């Protein structure tokens, strides 16, 4: 058979097979995929004073999880029931279609900048007594850059309550361990003719720092009109406010804010004095040892001295000592000396005096020999105490500490 004829037959069969494979039954037409914004799911509504609040927190994504195209538009929808509203049959059980017919858009919020999470709040003031006789159903709807709409968020329903007025007369007192807040109970209610007023369950306390957000300090409503804020720092500025609460579980129904007060606590509180002051005389001088003040912000200790023939105490250490021991070498044999200490904190506050101790320099005894070992090379043949005490033995003493020239004196009456 001729070769060109064979090639023709081969290619004809090949084309026929392709036609068989390509032929088949046509399926139904598929609708094109449309990117729709994911509906807002995390939403809550509550009353505070004479206003209703709607808050939200969501991630701006499409239903398939991809990021939305900005800018976005967030619509706030509201439907009312009762009072003079035409929607007398409105119910919290509305489906989304019926809600869209009954509600209206009361706010459009434009979000320009792309972000991973969107949080916000919308407020509706109740400006008329009639507002308290209505039921409010609220929802959100999100639109992307091309105005493609999400489904509605879950519907939330609020019925306003006749709440008490805010707490009054908020005051603060700074103490060493806490900022103590006190206030007076509310006087009266928002309305006089809007049903039975709600009784108080307690109070919430709020605090913020400059440029900061308000944080609630109370986990549960307080049953008393006093609060101690122990988590503070001296020199920092704080702002406080209080709200009364009429229910005992989340979401809390609160009154309007009390007046806001500013507090700048200053450290004017002296530390406790040191304790356990002990004096021991030796030929080299008089050694002092003591227990530290329990205050955490102690900067050091001052030592005061008076000889038995002097009237006033003199300050031996103009610069407070950080150590817990001291040797006074500037003493004269044969005289008794009295000592007391004060503690000074980092703010410069000085404690009360420690108890006074009395001691004199040890006298040399030619009949008493001693070794020059490490233990007694400091003490020589002076009087020794066998009592155990932190600092006894005074290995860390610097005799130079006793070379301070007295720069301050205190009269006996103050000692």
Boundary of a domain, candidates 263, 293, 314:
263
Tell me if 239 is assigned to some domain. yes
Task: Establish if 10 belongs to a structural domain.
Answer: no
pTM: 0.72
- Whether residue 8 is predicted with pLDDT greater than 60 in this model: the reply is no
Range of the domain at 364: 275-414
- Give 291's pLDDT tier (boundaries 50, 70, 90): very high
| CATH code at position 257 | 2.60.40.10
User: Does 311 or 392 have the greater pLDDT score?
Assistant: 311
Q: In Å, how far are 43, 52, 138, 140 from 55, measured between CA atoms? A: 6, 10, 11, 10
- Residue ending a domain, among 263, 287, 318, is 263
DSSP 111-143: E-S--S-EEEEEEEE--SGGGGG-EEEEEEEEE
As a whole-number percent, the residues of the chain with pLDDT over 90 amount to: 68
| 73 and 115 inside one domain | yes
User: With pLDDT > 70 as the criterion, what percentage of the chain qualifies?
Assistant: 76
> Do 133 and 198 reside in the same domain of the chain?
no
Using CA atoms, how far residue 212 sits from 206, 217, 239, in Å, is 12, 14, 10
* Residue 20 neighbours by CB under 8 Å, 6+ apart: none
Shared domain for 153 and 172, answered yes or no, is no
Q: pLDDT confidence of 366, banded at 50, 70, 90?
A: very low
Tokens 């709200």 sit on residue:
243
Q: Are residues 287 and 397 in the same domain?
A: yes
Between residues 113 and 198, which one has the greater pLDDT? 113
Rounded to an integer, the average pLDDT of 265-284 is: 96
Q: Pick the last residue of a domain from 230, 263, 296.
A: 263
pLDDT tens digits, 65-77:
999 999 999 999 9
Same domain, 118 and 74: yes
Number of domains in the chain: 3
Whether residue 206 sits in one domain with residue 130: no
pLDDT band at 29, cuts 50/70/90? low
If one counts every other C-beta atom within 10 angstroms of the C-beta of residue 415, the result is: 15
Q: Give the pLDDT confidence score for residue 294 in this predicted structure.
A: 96
Question: Residue 6 — very low, low, confident or very high, per pLDDT cuts 50/70/90?
Answer: low
What span, in angstroms and rounded, lies between the C-alpha atoms of 300 and 342?
9
Q: Are residues 178 and 292 in the same domain?
A: no
Determine the average pLDDT of the residues in 107-135.
94
Within a domain: residue 303? yes
């Amino acid at each position: 058979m001729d070769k060109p004829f064979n090639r023709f037959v081969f290619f004809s069969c090949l084309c026929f097979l392709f036609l068989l494979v390509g032929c088949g039954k046509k399926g139904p037409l598929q609708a094109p995929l449309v990117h729709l914004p994911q509906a807002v799911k995390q939403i809550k509504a509550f009353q505070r004073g004479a206003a209703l609040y709607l808050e939200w927190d969501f991630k701006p994504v499409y239903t398939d999880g991809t990021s939305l195209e900005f800018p976005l538009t967030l619509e706030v929808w509201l439907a009312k029931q009762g009072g003079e509203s035409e929607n007398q049959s409105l119910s919290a059980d509305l489906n989304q279609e019926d809600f869209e017919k009954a509600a209206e858009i009361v706010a459009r919020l434009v979000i320009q900048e792309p972000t991973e999470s969107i949080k916000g709040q919308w407020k509706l003031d109740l400006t008329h007594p009639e507002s308290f006789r209505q039921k409010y159903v609220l929802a959100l709807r999100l639109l992307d850059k091309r105005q493609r709409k999400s489904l509605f968020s879950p519907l939330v329903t609020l019925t306003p309550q006749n709440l008490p007025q805010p707490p009054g007369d908020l005051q603060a007192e700074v103490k060493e361990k806490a900022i103590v807040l006190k206030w007076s109970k509310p006087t009266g209610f928002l309305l006089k003719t809007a049903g039975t007023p709600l009784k108080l369950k307690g109070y919430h306390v709020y605090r913020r720092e400059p440029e900061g957000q308000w944080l609630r300090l109370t986990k549960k409503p307080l049953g008393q009109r006093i609060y101690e804020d122990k988590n503070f720092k001296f020199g920092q500025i704080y702002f406080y406010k209080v709200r009364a609460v009429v229910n005992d579980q989340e979401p809390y129904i609160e009154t309007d804010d009390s007046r806001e007060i500013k507090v700048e606590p200053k450290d004017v509180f002296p530390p406790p004095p040191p304790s356990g002051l002990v004096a021991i005389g030796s030929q080299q001088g008089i050694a002092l040892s003591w227990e530290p003040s329990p205050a955490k912000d102690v900067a050091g200790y001052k030592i005061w001295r008076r000889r038995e023939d002097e009237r006033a105490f003199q300050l031996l250490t103009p610069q407070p000592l950080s150590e817990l021991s001291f040797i006074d070498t500037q003493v004269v044999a044969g005289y008794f000396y009295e000592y007391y200490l004060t503690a000074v904190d980092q703010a410069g506050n000085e404690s009360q005096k420690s108890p006074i101790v009395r001691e004199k320099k040890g006298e040399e005894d030619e009949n008493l020999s001693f070794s020059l070992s490490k233990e007694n090379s400091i003490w020589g043949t002076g009087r020794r105490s066998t009592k155990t005490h932190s600092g006894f033995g005074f290995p860390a003493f610097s005799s130079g500490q006793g070379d301070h020239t007295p720069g301050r004196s205190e009269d006996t009456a103050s000692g």
